[in-house]
Amino acid sequence: MMKTYALFLLVLPLLFVGCGGEEVDVTAPSMKILSLTPEPTASEVCGAVEDSVFFLTGGETLQAELLFSDNAALSQYKIDIHNNFDCHGHGGAAVPSVPIPDVASQTTDWSVLNLNDLSGNSEQVTLQLTPPANVTAGTYHFQIQVVDESGNDNPMANFYTIKAINPDDAEAPQLSVSSPSAGSLSYARGEEAVFTGQVSDNYSLSEGGNGIVFLSYTDLSSGNTFAARDAFVTFDASTGKDAEFEIRFTVPNTIQPGDYRFRIDAHDGVRNVAEPVIFDVAITN
């Protein structure tokens, strides 16, 4: 027994050395937040509450004082900001991919992807991040990732959400569905579903270029959500503050019979999101 224990003590140090007898660095670097302006708050994002959500109006600056540290040597940090309009990773409504109408005052989606060098085993950094003045409203993923010279990182740390607010229009539109009126519906595969209603807003629904009303559906057995193909209406330059809509959707013959949730969503021109209208739907053969 003593021989086995002695052999283990001899082998153990070898597990932490590489070629040439150097120790292998497997410790991830860290980030400490020294200050944040504005400070994040708890808020609902895609149906779930997140602890660290920043609210930023277009043209307003998020400033952060950060301290990066590593046991050996820092290498780089990355700033990644991209839109989360489709609630990717959250199972939210599936927004169809449609051409944006050519309208005045087109909003700008906020996107940042910056790589910056670091040195030593500790470095303090000041970040200043400003969304476009005419930013497309909505939720954005915001990640700060730090890597050391050995390639260690912690990709799921330092992950936040930013809710961008367009400075010209912060009010969500109103959505109503007049037909069908029932909350529980049934359609056979191959049958056409027709939804009619109205969207109203404080500004022209075309202002900004993101105005749309659309249908998505969720398979309740799997939780998967899909954009209903061609089941949408966009608001072009001729649209005012109020718009009636009709959405037609033919239930695919390939869909599995079962219980589904149909959801009608509407966005105004700067992409403020209306309260959705939801239907419980049974799909039959």
By percentage, how much of the chain surpasses pLDDT 70? 90
Please give the model's pTM, rounded to 2 decimal places.
0.84
- By the 8 A CB rule, do 151 and 251 touch? no
Query: What are the phi and psi torsion angles at 157 (to 5°)?
Result: -85, 160
**CA atoms within a 13 Å half-sphere pointing along the CA-CB vector of 285:** 0
Residue 15's pLDDT band (cuts 50, 70, 90): very low
Q: What is the CATH superfamily name and number for domain 27-165?
A: Immunoglobulins (2.60.40.10)
Is residue 46 very low, low, confident or very high in pLDDT (cuts 50, 70, 90)? confident
2.60.40.770, 1.25.40.10, 1.10.1070.11, 3.50.40.10: which CATH number matches 174-284? Answer: 2.60.40.770
Boundaries of every domain in the chain: 27-165, 174-284
Mean pLDDT over 119-135 rounds to 97
Place of tokens 């500004």: 203
Q: Do 163 and 138 form a contact (C-beta atoms < 8 A)? A: yes
Q: Is the predicted pLDDT of residue 104 greater than 80, yes or no?
A: no
Average pLDDT over residues 180-197: 93
Per-residue pLDDT band for 156 (boundaries 50, 70, 90) equals confident
> Could you report the per-residue pLDDT of 230-280, keeping only the tens digit for each?
999 999 889 999 999 999 999 999 999 999 999 999 999 999 999 999 999
How big is the CA angle at 264 (ends 263 and 265), to the nearest 5 degrees? 115
Give residue 128's pLDDT. Answer: 98
Q: What is the reported pLDDT for 105?
A: 86
- Contact yes or no for 159/50 (Cβ under 8 A): no
The pLDDT, as a whole number, for residue 21 is 60
| pLDDT band, very low/low/confident/very high, at 70 (cuts 50, 70, 90) | very high
Q: What percent of the chain has pLDDT over 90?
A: 76
The reply to whether domains 27-165 and 174-284 share a CATH topology is yes
Q: Taking residues 131-160, report their average pLDDT.
A: 93
Q: What is the mean pLDDT of residues 173-201?
A: 95
CB 266 within 8 Å of CB 246: no
